[in-house]
Every structure is written in structure tokens, then in C-alpha cells.
Amino acid sequence: MAKKAPGKVRRVAKANKAAKTAKPATRAAAKSAVARSTAKRGKFVYQFGKTTDGNGSMKPLLGGKGANLAEMCRIGLPVPPGFTITTEVCTYYYDHKRSYPPALKAQMQAGIAAIEKQTKKKLGDLKNPLLVSVRSGARDSMPGMMDTILNLGLNDQTVEALAKKTGNPRFAWDCYRRFVQMYGDVVLGVQKRPDEDHEPFETVIETLKHERHHEGIEDTKLSVDDLKELVVRFKALVKERVGKSFPSSPWDQLMGAVGAVFGSWMNDRAIVYRRKYNIPSEWGTAVNVQAMVYGNTGDESGSGVAFTRNPANGTKEFYGEFLINAQGEDVVAGVRTPEPVAELKKQMPKAYGELERIRQRLEKHFKDVQDFEFTIEDGVVYMLQTRNGKRTAMAALKFSIDMFKEKLIDWKTAVMRNPADQLEQLLAPVFDASEAAKAKAIATGLPAGPGAATGRIYLNADRAVTAAEQAQKEADAKGHGSTPEGVLLVRVETSPEDLRGMIAAEGILTARGGVSSHAALVARQMGKVCVCGAAAVEVDYQARKVTVDGQVFNEGDWMSIDGTAGKVYAGRLKTAPSEIVAGLIDGDEAARKTEKFRNFQQLMKWCDQATRMSVRTNADTPEQTQNAIAFGAVGIGLCRTEHMFFEGDRIDAMREMILAETLEDRKAALAKLLPYQREDFAGIFRALKGHPATIRFLDPPLHEFLPNTQESQADLAKKLGVAPAAIHSRVEQLHEFNPMLGFRGCRLGIGYPEISAMQARAVFEAAAIVQKEGVKVKPEIMIPLVGFKKELDLQLEVVHQAAREVQAERKVKLDYLVGTMIEVPRGALTADEIAQSADFFSFGTNDLTQTGLGMSRDDSGSFLPTYTAHEIVKNNPFATIDQTGIGQLVEIAVAKGRATKANLKLGICGEHGGDPASIQFFEKVGLDYVSCSPYRVPVARLAAAQAALRT
């Protein structure tokens, strides 16, 4: 194999830095697993073509690209022959100081020989040379991996042979210069230095064009002589930058390229991507080596990228683009603007017909929308890749419903086809139709990511990130519920370097690039609002401004983009609720007739058929409750009563209660609060229309209700007619060093039983009132923070006493439960005892995570990012439940609780209740329901249905 070129050494250094952050235990485990399996098999190379070793189900071993190339061969699609080097070799490579298993070389040689036999060409041959492409391919397609090397096998001799053989020197030299350029860049690392504005190879091309022609001339117009000169200059550039000659032996070229693919697995971009999508580094990448077919032999050739259906909005239409006389990379690179596939019908009707046939075949076979790459060589179509197409939530929904109607998939598959964590996109606002009609669009582009986004524009990823962080800080300072101002990332076109900025931005706008451009791809994947290829948008990076038809926008100015229609607007456009929200919540009839709404309702209906767990909501007001019920919640899983004490005059009564010195005074203050609570509960019960409501008693430490500035303390003193000093000292008295673990939860109700008594009475009186109105009421009183059975027993007495009184006074029979939250480890560990007294458990996984990990959620911002970087935790444990640790506490409590009481009702009301990955876990441990915020309810319903279908 090739000796290490300096460019590669640099990559190694980079990768080592990254490798240090990998999780040692898992890596060791992966290592031994690989050692075992390779020892058994020892097969590192899988051929495809005339004989095909692999198939589509072997993605872990062959990578997505390799497995599907094999599958396409199996179903008789025209695929150039080749072989796949397995992902196990990648893992081996990193576990063995970047070396290969000894058996690899011979297997690769056999692989090359098989290609040679099928193509009747030979690597390095001076009459009929074989050229190959070297392509990376992880289990899932992954931006950040090495770019494909095309035309490998060319050198000063084979290029002449190719020219002679094809009778097309222009083509041969075009291939050669592309190869030196790509290989020099990707494998040898001849790339833009920090002080350079352009890629060095591009600079060489520009200079030559300038010297010999004019700058605007297209690459396709360069003469054979120009191309020859380019090769000479490219090689000189390589020599100058790398200090070594460009490798001429095809075998050295091949080994160098294979090493670079494996090396790219640990580059920064790949690592960032894996982190975002939770892809373990142990997966590794495969390498595909494949005979070249040529899209650049003339006007009967070309290459393109297509989808079997429209991945932005879901329409059933052949969707994609192609370039005449071009090799694959050109389509994506944005050097020339591709044409829509429909054009191909006119220009190459036969090839178009063949592609149509392939499009049908692909969907019939894979039963899902495919994203495929093809090349046409002298009128003959070749397939180079296929995979399940990335799609927006809107397209996913339409695909799933349409394919069910077409009998391609059954309803369960249709449910699985909708990614639960993307579903919220469908509820995101759209632009207010009347506003949009008034505002004139200043530019149009491709609608690449549906939805509406409005924000301040930034032209660079770093500045977009900073601005988004700043906006978030400002929103946080404003207080709960205020959404941060949006950021729009505006670029000529995006590249993987922009990923962070794209993640931070609300929406993405590009001036160049089509459906297969990087921006469109990322938008589909991340569900970002995106308009791409809006040619009227002129971006000036230097001046940090954007000009559209004479109108200037500086960084920080507002723009709005409509990713559903592909329109760009100046300024801040008003948004309106999505058709689904409008239909469900506002009862908007027009919205209910839209296809989007009807498809959504169908999906939700299927979810109800599939699900075992039910979905409740966390709501404290009748309005929230109503919304959640409209979204399909079947009850309240958590009603936080403390929120009810902040509104209007209530806070005064609350403060009076807290400041009271005697039981009498406290009871007097509580009596003022009672009617408020009763009314709140009655409203909620009515909104619930017979569904159950889990009501949690007062939970936060009392000082949270007290004024903390001198001014506000003085104010309160005046209102209550006491001395300011008295208030001050009571506040001091209530101060705690660690409020999260202090005087809160059931400790309050035990210290001041009259508080619980008031709350219980308010619940039961409200229940009695609403029940008399003819509405069923099912209160479930929940005592927070219980760690000892005795705690619950003390509160039970108070609750039952109030129930007896109210039932007697109002002459009603009330149907209620009393249970507890499980949110401290002791509660989980002694669940068998606690279950003797509890009718139900609800896992408060927020606090259970805090107390179980000994980690304060509100303080974790300062160290969690480091923890994620080191892969100490794979996810934020406050967003996705830590299954091995906290999950175990849940499992213990479930087992012990049900051992005591088989019919114990079990639910979860932490943030995790709306997180699809956590919901999957809750299905596995057998909870009865999950509870989440109202707008998360559809997501949870989908996730719960999918979890049930998976088990």
C-alpha cells in the first residue's frame, strides 16, 4: 500500500484527537466483538455484479450504499460491478493502529479480478484500462464522510490508452484532470488554507481560463490541450503542497483512497454529525470500489439524482435533476445548474423511459420512496445508488397514506413510516395567508423544506450560532414561554462546514443549488424550513449584506421564507397556525378539509388502533386541557397546582398564608385561596369531559412564592399591613441552601397539613359541583416527593377526611384515587411498601433523574456539554431517560409496586413523557400511560403506537 502522504498524516492527527473522546468501555467491547466475528468469518470483501455476495439487509456490515448496490444487482437493475469492503475492516483499522487485517489485500485483489473479468478491462492496462470509483458508505448515509473518488486508475500512460480506446481524448483527459483534482483534495489533503479564499485547484483552473480564454467559459468548453495543461499544473500543485509526486501506480492509488475513506470516519464533521444523530462510532464505514461508467462522454451521456416521489411535499411525481455530459459529482457540486428530470423526456426519451421503469421497480421492490443516483453512458442507464429517501414530515405523512392506498404497505407500516420526533413540524405555524397575499415575494426558489420561518439574517454559520444563542438568552431572560427571535442563515450555497449554523437557524435560504444540493438535503433531514436556489438573492459575504432586486438587507435585518411555496419576503411576516392546529383547536372548517389535516387524522386513528399505552397531558388550565383533548389526550397526567397561585390576587393570599405566624392566620389565608382553586379545578374537570385528572399537591419550596427584592417586600408589607422587616426576616428564614432537596413536596403537606386539607377540599368541592352538572369527574390526587410509606399515609388521612366531609356536606358520592409520585430513589426502592397505600404511581422522571444522578437540571448546562462530548452520557438525561440508570429505578418500582398491587395504575409525567425514545422504554417496562405537554400529545401518541408495534 501507499506510504503515508503528509496530507494523510494531518488527517491522522485530527482523528487521534477525536479518538480520545471515544468511550473506552464500548470501544473495547466492540473490539472484542469484531475480533470474534472476523475470526469466524474472515470475509472482508463482498462482491456485487454478476455474482453478488451481499443483499439489502446487510447494512451494518456493508453500509447502506454497499448493501443496496448488492440488492439492486439481485433484482436485475443495471449496476456497474464492484465490491464492498466491510465496516468490520474500519473497526479493525482503528483498533490496530490504522492497519488492515492481513487477509484483506488478497480479497481485494480477487475483487478487482472479478471486476476485470466482467468489464473485460484491466487495472493499469495499457490497452483497455479499468477505472474505478472509491466510495464511502456507512450504515446510514452520512454527510462528513469522504467524497467519492472517480476515475481511479488513471496515470500518464493509461490516459493515453483510454483516449485511444474511446477515440475521445477530450473525455480521457477530462477524467484524468478530475481524478488528480479529487484525489489531490480528498486523499492528499490539498485544500484551502485559512488564508485562501478559493480551493487551490479551482484557482489553477481559473488562472488557466483567464490566460487562455475568458473567465466565464464553461469547463465543458476547455480543449484537450487545456486539460493536459491542467493535469500538469495540478500535479505541480500537489508536489508543492505535499512534497511528493502524485501516485501513478493504480494499486497505490487504490490503497490510498481506501485509507482515506476509513480516515474520514474520524474527521471532525463526521464526529459532529454522529453526535447529533446518536450514531455510535463503533459502527464504522464500508468502502465501495466500483467499475466506472461515464456520464461525460458526450451529449448522449449525463448523470443525475432523483426521487421516486417528491420528498418535500410528498406529491407522487418523478422528481430530480440531471446534467448532460457530466460525472456525478457535478450535479451535487453546483458548478453547473442541473435541469429537472422531466427535461430528460425531451432530450433522451429512451433513457427517460428506462428510468421511469426503474422508478416503478424500485418502489415495488423496496416499498418505500427511493432516492437514487444514475449515470447515462452513451444512452445506457446505470444505477449507482439507491436508498430510502429522506423526507420532510409533510412528505412522510403523504407518502405513508398514499402508499397504503396504493396497497404497497399495510397500515402498521404506514404508522412506522412517520418519524415521531418530526411530527411536530406538521403543527408548526405557516404564514398567515392574508399576510402573505399582501406582502409581495421578493424572490422565489425551490421549496425544499416546508413551513414558515422568519428571522434576522446571518451570512455565516458562526455568526448565526452566536445570534441564535443570544436570542435564546434574551428569551430566557424575558421568562417562561417566550420564544426566541429567529435566525435565518443565508448563503450562496451551504456546505458541511455550515452544519452548526443550519442547526441553530430557524430557516435556510440559498441563492444557488437544486433539489440535491446540500441545503435541500439537510433541510429534509433536520426538518428545517428551507428555500434554495433563489437566484435573485445576491449574497455579499465581504460586506455582510444581501441584495434582492436592488433592496439591501444587512446582517441582522429581518427576512421571511416560506419553505412550502418557495417564496422569500422582506421583513417579518405574521404566521398562522398550521392547518392541523386550526382544524383541531380552532375548529376551522376550511382547514379540516385540507389533505394535510385529513391525512393527519387518519394517522392518529391508526395510532389508536395500535397503541397499548394511552397519552395524557400535563395541563394546569382549562384551555390547555381543551387543547390537549383536541389533540387526543385522554386525561391529565399532571396538573401542577402551584401555577394556580400566581395569578392576580391569589399570590397575595398565598403570601399571606406563607407569612402567617399561627395556624389560625394560616387557615384564614387558605380560606381565601380555596374558592380560586375550586374554580380552577371545576374548569379543568369540565374541559376534561369525563377523563381523569391527576392533580399534584403543592410541590415547590415556599420561598419561590415570596418577593425577593427589597421593593417588592416593602410593597407586600404595605398590602398586608405588617412591618417590612417582618417580611424580610421570614424570607431569610425560609432561605435554603439547596431548595431542590429542601422543604418541598409532601414535606410541606406534612409540616402544614392544613394546606393539603384545603387543596383536597377544593378538588372534592369542584368535583361535586361538576358532577352535579352531569359531567363525570375522576380526580386522582397525587402526593409528590414520597420516599417513605408513612409520608403518604399521613397525607392520605388528610385527603380522605376532606373527601368524607365534602361528600357528607354535598350529599354526593365521589369516585377518586390517591396515589404518589415516584421521584426519589427511596420511593422507587421501597415501592412495594408504598404501593400498599397508593392507588397509582406516576413517575416524576425529572426529579427522579435529578435525585438519581445527583445532578441539578438547572445547573447542568455548565457541564453536560462536556459530558456529551466525552460520551459519558449519549443524550441529555433530562430530555431522554437514562435507561440503564434511572430506567432501572423505574423498572424496580414497577416490579415491586405491581407485586404488591397487581392493578396498580402506572404513568409518567416528566418531560420524558413526550420524548419518543423514552416512550419506547416506557412501553417496554409496561406503564399504562405517558403524559406530556398539550402540543406534544400527537408526537406521544405516534411514539406510543410505534413502540407498541415494535414490541
Active-site residue numbers?
518, 909
**Do the beta carbons of residue 302 and residue 295 sit within 8 Å?**
yes
d(CA 888, CA 898) in angstroms, rounded, equals 15
- Greatest alpha-carbon pair distance for the chain in Å reads 106
Instruction: Work out what residue 847 binds among ligand ADP, Mg ion, none; the CB cut-off runs from 5 to 8 Å by kind.
Output: Mg ion
Instruction: Work out what residue 920 binds among Mg ion, ligand ADP, none; the CB cut-off runs from 5 to 8 Å by kind.
Output: none
d(CA 817, CA 805) in angstroms, rounded, equals 16
Nearer to Mg ion among residue 88 and residue 373 (C-beta): 373
Residues 775-814: x where in contact with Mg ion by CB under 5 A, - otherwise, as a string: ----------------------------------------
* Long-range own/partner contacts, residues 872-876 (CB < 8 A, 24 or more apart): 872/23, 874/278, 875/278, 875/917
- Containing 114, the helix (H) or strand (E) segment is helix 104-119
Task: Write down the least CB distance from residue 162 to ligand ADP, Å.
Answer: 14
Task: Write down the least CB distance from residue 294 to Mg ion, Å.
Answer: 17
Task: Write down the least CB distance from residue 852 to Mg ion, Å.
Answer: 12
Residue closest to ligand ADP (Cβ): 328
Instruction: Work out what residue 80 binds among ligand ADP, Mg ion, none; the CB cut-off runs from 5 to 8 Å by kind.
Output: ligand ADP
d(CA 488, CA 514) in angstroms, rounded, equals 19
Distances (CA, A) of 744 to 66, 707, 740, 783: 57, 18, 8, 11
- Containing 37, the helix (H) or strand (E) segment is helix 24-41
3-state secondary structure 243-284: CCCCCCCHHHHHHHHHHHHHHHCCCHHHHHHHHHCCCCHHHC
Instruction: Work out what residue 292 binds among ligand ADP, Mg ion, none; the CB cut-off runs from 5 to 8 Å by kind.
Output: ligand ADP
* DSSP at 552: E
Task: Write down the least CB distance from residue 250 to Mg ion, Å.
Answer: 23
> Where in 504-563 is the site for Mg ion (CB under 5 A)?
none
**Do the beta carbons of residue 67 and residue 56 sit within 8 Å?**
yes
Q: Does 313 engage in binding with Mg ion (CB under 5 A)?
A: no
**Do the beta carbons of residue 617 and residue 682 sit within 8 Å?**
no
132: which residues sit within 8 A by CB, 6+ positions away?
82, 112, 115, 123, 152, 153, 254, 289, 290, 291, 292
Helix (H, G, I), strand (E, B) or coil at 360: helix
Judged by CB under 5 A, the number of residues near Mg ion is 5
Task: Write down the least CB distance from residue 356 to ligand ADP, Å.
Answer: 19
Instruction: Work out what residue 303 binds among Mg ion, ligand ADP, none; the CB cut-off runs from 5 to 8 Å by kind.
Output: ligand ADP
Task: Write down the least CB distance from residue 546 to Mg ion, Å.
Answer: 31
Nearer to ligand ADP among residue 290 and residue 918 (C-beta): 290
Instruction: Work out what residue 392 binds among Mg ion, ligand ADP, none; the CB cut-off runs from 5 to 8 Å by kind.
Output: none
d(CA 795, CA 755) in angstroms, rounded, equals 11
Could you tell me which stretch among 164-172, 488-496, 622-630, 836-844 binds Mg ion (CB under 5 A)?
A: 836-844
Could you tell me which stretch among 208-216, 245-253, 815-823, 875-883 binds Mg ion (CB under 5 A)?
A: 815-823
Task: Write down the least CB distance from residue 114 to ligand ADP, Å.
Answer: 15
d(CA 876, CA 860) in angstroms, rounded, equals 10
Task: Write down the least CB distance from residue 891 to Mg ion, Å.
Answer: 19
Among 847, 871, 882, 915, binds Mg ion (CB under 5 A): 847
Residues that bind ligand ADP (CB under 6 A): 80, 133, 135, 141, 148, 150, 290-293, 303, 327-329, 373, 375, 384-385
The amino acid at 82:
G
Instruction: Work out what residue 329 binds among ligand ADP, Mg ion, none; the CB cut-off runs from 5 to 8 Å by kind.
Output: ligand ADP
* DSSP at 476: H
Instruction: Work out what residue 844 binds among ligand ADP, Mg ion, none; the CB cut-off runs from 5 to 8 Å by kind.
Output: Mg ion
Nearer to Mg ion among residue 373 and residue 498 (C-beta): 373
Instruction: Work out what residue 150 binds among ligand ADP, Mg ion, none; the CB cut-off runs from 5 to 8 Å by kind.
Output: ligand ADP
CA end-to-end span of the chain, whole Å? 48
- Containing 371, the helix (H) or strand (E) segment is strand 370-377
Task: Write down the least CB distance from residue 820 to ligand ADP, Å.
Answer: 53
Could you tell me which stretch among 192-200, 211-219, 713-721, 820-828 binds Mg ion (CB under 5 A)?
A: 820-828
**Do the beta carbons of residue 619 and residue 628 sit within 8 Å?**
yes
Task: Write down the least CB distance from residue 332 to ligand ADP, Å.
Answer: 7
> Where in 226-285 is the site for Mg ion (CB under 5 A)?
none
Nearer to ligand ADP among residue 49 and residue 913 (C-beta): 49
Nearer to ligand ADP among residue 80 and residue 338 (C-beta): 80
928: which residues sit within 8 A by CB, 6+ positions away?
613, 614, 905, 906, 907
Instruction: Work out what residue 148 binds among Mg ion, ligand ADP, none; the CB cut-off runs from 5 to 8 Å by kind.
Output: ligand ADP
Nearer to Mg ion among residue 288 and residue 510 (C-beta): 288
Residue with cell 424580610: 728
Strands 507-510 and 840-843: unpaired
Among 844, 913, 916, 938, binds Mg ion (CB under 5 A): 844
Nearer to ligand ADP among residue 201 and residue 294 (C-beta): 294
Closest CA to 786 of 735, 754, 824: 824
d(CA 851, CA 907) in angstroms, rounded, equals 19
Nearer to ligand ADP among residue 147 and residue 402 (C-beta): 147
Closest CA to 430 of 565, 325, 251: 565
Nearer to Mg ion among residue 229 and residue 373 (C-beta): 373
Nearer to ligand ADP among residue 64 and residue 583 (C-beta): 64
Sign of CA dihedral 924, 422, 389, 486: negative
Instruction: Work out what residue 498 binds among Mg ion, ligand ADP, none; the CB cut-off runs from 5 to 8 Å by kind.
Output: none
Nearer to ligand ADP among residue 135 and residue 209 (C-beta): 135
Among 87, 385, 626, 931, binds Mg ion (CB under 5 A): 385
**Do the beta carbons of residue 383 and residue 72 sit within 8 Å?**
yes
Residue with cell 476515475: 151
Sign of CA dihedral 287, 292, 295, 301: negative
d(CA 48, CA 43) in angstroms, rounded, equals 14
Sign of CA dihedral 357, 362, 364, 368: negative
- Containing 662, the helix (H) or strand (E) segment is none
Task: Write down the least CB distance from residue 89 to ligand ADP, Å.
Answer: 17
Q: Which spans of this chain sit near Mg ion (rule: CB under 5 A)?
A: 373, 385, 823, 844, 847
